[in-house]
Amino acid sequence: METNKQPGRVKSALLNWLGVPISLTNGEFFQEWFGTSSSGKVVTADKAIALSAVWACVRLLSESVSTLPLKVYQRAPDGSRKLAQSHPAYQLLCRRPNTEMTPSRFMLMVVASICLRGNAFVEKKMIGNKLVSLVPLLPQCMVVKRLDSGELEYTYTEKGQKRVIPVKNIMHIRGFGLDGVCGMMPMQVGRDVFGSAMAVEESAAKIFENGLQSSGYFASKNTLTKEQRERLRRNLSAFAGSKNAGKVMVLEADLSYQNITMNPEAAQMLESRAFSIEEICRWFRVPPFMVGHVDKQSSWASSVEGMNLLFLTNTLRPMLVNIEQEIARCLLNGDEDLFAEFSVEGLLRADSAGRAAYYTTALQNGWMSRNDVRRLENLPPIEGGDIYTVQLNLTPLEDLRKNSTAERAKLLREVHNAVFPDIPFEQSPLKQAA
**Each residue's pLDDT tens digit, 285-340:** 888 888 887 765 554 555 666 777 788 888 999 999 999 999 999 999 878 889 99
Distance CA 71, CA 50 (A): 34
Structural domain total, the chain = 2
Distance CA 232, CA 22 (A): 52
The mean pLDDT value for 212-216 works out to 53
Please give the share of the chain, as a percent, with pLDDT higher than 70: 72
In a domain, 418, yes or no: yes
In a domain, 252, yes or no: yes
* Residue finishing a domain among 259, 281, 310: 259
In a domain, 415, yes or no: yes
* Residue finishing a domain among 225, 259, 293: 259
- Region of poorest pLDDT, from 139-153, 274-288, 401-415: 401-415
* Residue finishing a domain among 259, 287, 320: 259
- Residue 223 belongs to domain spanning: 216-259
Provide the CA 80 distance to its chain's centre, in angstroms. 29
pTM, entire model:
0.67
pLDDT of residue 121: 96
In a domain, 234, yes or no: yes
Answer yes or no: are the C-beta atoms of 340 and 328 closer than 8 Å: yes
In a domain, 61, yes or no: no
In a domain, 417, yes or no: yes
Could you tell me which of 340, 42, 16 has the C-alpha nearest to residue 173?
340
In a domain, 146, yes or no: no
Give, for 58, the enclosing helix (H) or strand (E). Answer: helix 52-66
In a domain, 254, yes or no: yes
